Chain A
Amino acid sequence: MAAVNIALPLPVLPEGWSAEKDFKAVGELTHATDRNIEPVGPHFLAHARRKRHKRTFSEDDRIQAQSNVKKVEDEDAGEISEPEDPLMLQRDAKDWKGQDHYAVLGLSKYRYRATEDQIKRAHRKKVLKHHPDKKAAAGSTEDDSFFKCIQKATEILLDPVKRRQYDSVDEGANIEPPSKKDTQKGNFYKLWGRVFEAEGRFSKNQPVPKLGNDKSTKEDVEHFYNFWYNFDSWRSFEYQDEDVPDDNENRDQKRHVERKNQNARRKKKTEDTTRLRKLVDDALALDERIKKFRQQEHAQKNKRRFEKEAEAKRLAEEAAKAKEEEARLKAEKEAAEKAEKAEGKKAKEAAKNAAKKNKRVVRASVKEANYFHGAGDAPAAQIDGALNDADLVIAKIDNEELAALTSRLNGKKDASEIKQIFVDEVKRLIDAGKLKDGEAKFLSA
C-alpha cells in the first residue's frame, strides 16, 4: 500500500531524552482477535502463498485453527424456549386486538424490552414451526389461523408506531404495586423497584432514575420522587379505540364514533395520570427513607435547637456570673472605699484633733510668751492683737506646717525664743507670699 501522508509535524525531542541507539521500546501490542480473512481477491492469494510456503494442512489443523475464531454469524435460531399455551394456538386471528402479541411470538419475558432483532428471530422461529404448509404436511387440517396471529403480531411489533400503541396498553408488562402489608415485610425496594421499572417504560425521558435502596442519598431519593411527580409519559390509548365504520355511506355515524374515541382516549389518559400519581403517593408514604430523612432532619433541627438553647443558657450563666463578679468587685471596691473613707475620716479627725491641739499649743505659747508684751500684764489690745496674729498664722498654714510649728514651739518657755519662732514663721509665710508684710504686726520683729 502507498505511504500515508501526515501533515501534522512531529514533536521536538524533549530536553534530556536519551536512549541507546536513539530507540526505546515501552510496551507491547494488545492481544489480537482471530478472524477469518475472506479467501478472495489477488491480495489474499499473495497472503496464502506466503503462509502456505510449501506446507499442507490437515483436518486437525483445520479444527485447531478454527477453535478461537471470532464468530460473525449469529447462532442458529434454535428452539422456541417459551411453551405455547394450547388455548393461544386456537386463537382466531380476527380477534387480533385481544391477542397478546408478545406471547404469540414467545417473547412474554421481554415485552417492551424486546429488540427489533429479537422480534424478527422470534417471528422466524414461529413461522418455521407454524407455517400452514408444514401442518398440512404433518397431516393436520390446513388451519392457518394461528399463523395469521403470528403475522399480525409481527406486523404490529415491527412497526414502531403500532408497537408503541400496543405497548401503551400491554397489560402483560404491568407490575401491580404491592399491598401495604407486603411492602412492610421489608421488601419495599425489591417490590416497588419493579413497579417503577415497569412504569418507567412510558417515560419520554430516558433513562429513568432508579428507586435505589436504603443507602441512597437524600438527593437521589428527592430526585427520584421529583422525576415521578413530573412524569412525562408517551402512553396513549388509541389501541383500544372502537372500530370506525369503514363505509362512506354513514358519515355521521363515522364522525360520532371518531369523537367518542377521542373522548375515550383523553379520559383514559387522565385516569392514567391520576393512577400514576396515586401510585407515587403510595410509594412515598411507605418509603422508610422519607421517614428516616424526616427524622434526621428533625433530629438535626432538634440538635440545632438544643445547641441554641444550651448556648443561650451558657450565655445567660456567663452573664449572671459576670454580673455577680461585677457586683462582687463593686462591693469590694465600695468596701475598700468605705474603709478608706473611714480611715481618712479618722486621720482627718486625728489631724483635726492634732491641729486643734497644735493650735492650742500655738495659742498657749503666745500666752506663755505673754502675748509678746515683755514683762508685766499685757494690755488687752496686745493680747487680742497677738492672738489674732497667731490665728492668722494658723489660718495661713496647713496641718503639717502647723505640726512643724508646734513641734518647734513645744516645751519653749522663753518668750523671746517663742517670739523668734513666730517671727520666723511669719517671715517664711511672707516669703512664700502667703502673708503680706505688715499683716501680722504683732509677730514681726
Chain B
Amino acid sequence: MSEEESPATRVAIGISFGNSYSSIAYTTEDGKAAVIANEEGDRQIPSILSYVEGEEFQGTQAKAQLVRNPKNTVAYFRDFLGQDFKSIDPTPCHQSAHPLQHDSTIAFKIQDTAEDTENIVTVSEITTRHLRRLRNSGTDYLGKAVNAAVITVPTNFSDAQKESLKKAAKDADIEVLQFIHEPVAALLAYDARPDAKIADKIVVVADLGGIRSDVAVIASRGGMYSILATAHDYDVSGTQLDQVLMDHFSKEFIKKHKSGGDPRESDRALAKLKLESEAVKKSLSIGSSANFSVESLSNGLDFTSTINRTRYELLASKIFAAFTRLVLHAVEKANLDPLDITEIILAGGSAHTPRIASSIVSSFPASTAVLAPSTSPTAINPSELAARGAAIQASLIQEFESEDIEQSTHPMVTVTPHLARAIGILCISGDESSGVFRALVEAETAVPVRRTAIVATPREGGDVLIKICEGRREIKVTKSTPKAKDKKGTVEEDDDSEDDYDSEEEEDEVREKTWKVEKVLAEAALRGLKKGAKVEVQVNVGHDLAVTCHVREVGGKGGVRGGWQAPGVANGSA
C-alpha cells in the first residue's frame, strides 16, 4: 500500500469526527458540498462502535447497544486520542466501556471477537475502525474508493492529538490531506455558497455539541480567516439538556408508579431513559410538544408521557443562559463588544434548539445576524456545517501534492502581521466639526491588503482634502432618560418619587459604535473636481506595513499618489 495517494488517484471527502456524532461529505460536480447518508440513511452517525458476538456495529445500531451491551460499546472517545490517562475526563463514558490507562495511551477492555475473552483495544484502534466504517460509507455512496480526507478538529486539539488522529486515519487507509478547525469549516461552508458575498466582518462560530461546546471569534477579511479568541466548555452541552429531560421523566415516572423505583438508579433503565430523552429533545426542536415512550422502563413497567416545549424551556432555562454566557465570554476574550459582531453562526447538533438561538439573539444587538435554523430561513443545517466545510476544503486541495499542502500550511505562510487599527479617511458630517472617520481597512486584517472606497465630495466640487488616518473603534454609551418623567410635575409626587428613581436606574442605555481617530497617516489634495464628482481612494498595505495610496476623481485621469514607510524604518532614508 502506498504511503500517499498521488493527486490523480485521490478520492477525497470531508470528515467531521465528533465525540457524539460524525458526518462525511463530498463536493458535487458543480462545487456544492453535500453530506452523505450511510447505509442506514443517517447523516449524523453516532461515533459509537459496539461488538456483539464478534460482530461490529457502528452508528445508530451501536448506540442502541448502550442499553443491552454497554460494556462492549465504545462511545465518546475522540477527545481521548493522543492524551494520557491523567488528562482525560472519563465522565461521558459512564454508560459505556470505561477508558483505561494503557501504557501512555487510553484503551478499552471489550469483548470484540467471537471468543469469550476481553481484549485491550486502544483508542487509536477504535478510531481506525470508526473511520474505516465512515470511509466505507463514503465509498459505497460515491462508487469509488475513498482514500483521502480533510478532517475537522477543535481549535484546541494539540499536535499530539492531531498526530494520533492522523495515524489512526492512515491505518484506516485514509490520507489526511489537512486538519482544519471546526469553526473555520463552518464559516467556509457558509462562505462557499454561491450567493455569499465576501466582506470584512467579525464572525462568532458557536459550536454546541454533545459533550462540549466551543466558541471561536473569527476576523473574516476578504475571505481569509483569523481566529481572535476561543472558549471551550465541557459542561454546557447537549447531554446537559438530555439530563434535564431524564430528571423530568424520572420524576413523572415515580409520580405515576410509586413502586416502579427511580429509573436513574438502574443502568439499563438509565440507558433507555437517556436514549429516549435525547430523541424527545430533538423533537422539541421542531414541534411544540413531544412524546416520551419507553417499553419496560423500570421494573417491567412501560412509560409514556408528553412534554411541551414551554415546559422544557423552563426546565432548561439555566443551561440555555449558560450557552449565551459562553458566547458572550468568547467575545469578551477577543476584546470585542457585541456591537462588533457581524454574525453568529450556530453550529453543532444543539444549535437546532430554538431557545438557544433566540436567547443569543436577544443578547446581541439587532445588527448581529444569528444564523440558526430557527432564526434564519437560509441557515445551513448546523449539524452539517463542519463536514461540508471539510468537503469544500478537500475539493480545493485534493489536486495538490502532499508536499505542496504541507508547505502552504506552513507557519511561514500562515503567520502574518494583522493591522492593530483600522485605516480610513476623514469625512464631513453635519454634527461633527472635526470630521468623522470611515474605515477602508478594518483592524485585524492580514497584510498585504488592498482596499478601495468611493467617496462623495462637497456639492460644489472644487478642491478637497483626503486625510488618511488610523482609527480605533469605541463604544459610546448614552443613558436614555425617560421622557415621561421629565414632563411630570415635581410637587404632587413626593410619595412615589422613590419608585421613579428605581425605574430610572433600570433605564436602558443606548450603546453605539463610534470611531476615534488615533493618528493621521497622510494628507492628499485633489483639485478642481467637477460638481457632483466622486473620489476613489485606494490604500495598499504591504507585507512590511509600508503603505501606498492613490486618490483620483472617478472617471478622471492621473490623481495623486503617495506612500510612506513601515513603522520603525528611519525617516528620511528615501
Contact = CB atoms under 8 A, between A and B. Distances in A.
Contacts of A57: 407, 410-413
A404 interface: no
Contact of B567 (A24, A28, A73, A134): A28
A13 B463 contact: yes
B322 interface: yes
Contact of B453 (A3, A17, A27, A33): A3
Interface string A31-67: 1111111111111110110011000110001100110
Contacts of B233: 120
Contacts of B419: 29-30, 32
A439 to B, nearest CB: 99
Contact of A26 (B223, B230, B393, B523): B523
Interface residues of B, number: 118
Interface stretch (B134-142, B177-185, B273-281, B474-482): B177-185
Given A41-B393, A65-B415, A35 B325 contact: no
Nearest to B99: A133
B526 A69 contact: no
B184 A38 contact: yes
Interface stretch (B256-264, B284-292, B336-344, B421-429): B421-429
Contacts of A24: 522-524, 562
Interface stretch (A86-94, A121-129, A221-229): A121-129
Given A65-B411, A72-B230, A128-B89, A42 B462 contact: no
A66 B416 CA distance: 10
Interface in B80-135: 85-91, 93, 98-101
Interface stretch (A4-12, A179-187, A283-291, A346-354): A4-12
Given A10-B456, A26-B522, A37-B414, A52 B223 contact: no
Nearest to B520: A26
A9 B428 contact: yes
A8 B456 contact: yes
Contacts of B453: 3-6
User: Most chain-B Cβ atoms within 10 A of its Cβ — which of A5, A28, A45, A124?
Assistant: A28
Contacts of B420: 29-33
Nearest to B564: A25
Contacts of B231: 117
A391 B565 CA distance: 131
Which interface class (under 10, 10 to 19, 20 to 34, 35 or more) fits A? 35 or more
A12 B456 contact: no
A72 B455 CA distance: 36
B556 interface: no
Nearest to B332: A117
A159 interface: yes
Given A7-B456, A34-B418, A52 B407 contact: yes
Contact of B526 (A22, A28, A66, A128): A22
Contacts, number: 299
Interface in B543-574: 545, 547, 560-569
A281 B163 CA distance: 65
A380 interface: no
A66 B155 CA distance: 16
A62 B235 contact: no
B560 A23 contact: yes
Contacts of A12: 458, 462-465
Nearest to A4: B453
A5 B412 contact: no
Contacts of B227: 35-36, 38, 72
B178 A39 contact: yes
B436 interface: yes
B221 to A, nearest CB: 9
Given A10-B428, A39-B414, A30 B88 contact: no
Interface in B320-357: 322, 325, 329
A8 B428 contact: yes
A4 B454 contact: yes
B456 A41 contact: no
A137 B85 contact: yes
Contact of A45 (B234, B408, B440, B521): B408
Contacts of B541: 29
Nearest to B467: A11
A72 B523 contact: no
A158 interface: yes
A10 B427 contact: yes
A19 interface: yes
Interface string B226-249: 111111011100000000000000
A424 B190 CA distance: 149
A40 B418 contact: no
A130 to B, nearest CB: 11
A210 interface: no
Given A5-B454, A21-B560, A134-B85, A39 B409 contact: yes
Contacts of B98: 133
A24 B225 CA distance: 34
B226 A35 contact: yes
B427 A47 contact: no
B523 A34 contact: no
User: Most chain-B Cβ atoms within 10 A of its Cβ — which of A34, A36, A56, A69?
Assistant: A36
Contact of A37 (B225, B438, B459, B527): B225
B457 A124 contact: no
A268 interface: no
A116 interface: yes
B545 to A, nearest CB: 5
B56 interface: no
Interface in B389-412: 389, 392-393, 396-397, 407-412
A159 B322 CA distance: 9
Contact of B438 (A6, A13, A66, A120): A6
Contacts of A10: 425, 427-428, 455-458, 464-466, 535
24 contacts: A4-B452, A6-B455, A8-B427, A10-B428, A10-B457, A10-B458, A11-B467, A12-B464, A17-B525, A23-B524, A23-B561, A25-B522, A26-B519, A28-B568, A29-B423, A29-B567, A30-B519, A31-B567, A32-B420, A39-B414, A44-B224, A62-B411, A66-B411, A137-B85
Given A31-B545, A36-B227, 14 more contacts: A4-B438, A10-B427, A23-B522, A24-B524, A24-B562, A27-B521, A29-B547, A32-B419, A32-B447, A39-B178, A40-B389, A47-B446, A65-B410, A120-B235
9 A-B pairs with least C-beta separation: A43-B223, A23-B562, A32-B417, A8-B427, A25-B564, A13-B463, A65-B411, A48-B408, A3-B452
